[in-house]
């Protein structure tokens, strides 16, 4: 859902699969293998126990993502693997946004980073 400029910049820099964040307009983005702190962490899975409740009643998030949040303390984490649990919650210093689009009830999320903080709304 990113605009063409953001897609070009992310692709040109090798995507979000590297160990270094990608910086676009002063905002740093990292994927699951990022080693340095970033503003926005993008993973497929949610952190274990947070917006990860499947229809089976089991929590299917990952401890690895939870550990990554604890180590890097990004401003926001975006994920979407668990279609049954869209939502926005605060996990310590990080706003977790499960912006899944697979349940026909949500169409992604609008996330705004400002000097005053982070806000997010499911669409």
59-111 pLDDT, tens per residue? 999 999 999 999 999 999 999 888 889 999 999 999 999 998 766 777 789 99
Collapsing DSSP states into helix, strand and coil, what is residue 6?
A: helix
Average pLDDT of the chain is: 89
Better pLDDT: 2 or 16: 16
Residue whose token pair is 């401003």: 75
Q: In this structure, what token pair is assigned to residue 71? A: 């180590």
Please name which of 91, 92, 93, 79 lies closest in space to residue 122, comparing C-alpha atoms: 79
Instruction: pLDDT band for 16, please (50, 70, 90 cuts).
Output: confident
Fold of the CATH domain 4-122: Purple Acid Phosphatase; chain A, domain 2 (3.60.21)
Task: Provide the 10 A C-beta neighbour count for residue 112.
Answer: 11
């Amino acid at each position: 859902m990113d605009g063409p400029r953001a897609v070009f910049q992310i692709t040109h820099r090798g995507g979000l699969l590297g160990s270094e964040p990608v910086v676009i307009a002063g905002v740093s983005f990292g994927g699951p293998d990022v080693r340095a702190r970033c503003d926005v962490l993008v993973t497929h899975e949610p952190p274990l126990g947070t917006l990860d409740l499947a229809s089976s009643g089991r929590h299917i998030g990952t401890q690895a993502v939870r550990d990554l949040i604890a180590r890097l303390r990004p401003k926001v984490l975006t994920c979407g693997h668990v279609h049954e649990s869209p939502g926005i919650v605060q996990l310590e210093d990080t706003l977790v946004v499960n912006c899944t689009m697979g349940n026909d009830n949500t169409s992604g999320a609008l996330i705004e980073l400002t000097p005053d903080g982070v806000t997010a709304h499911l669409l």
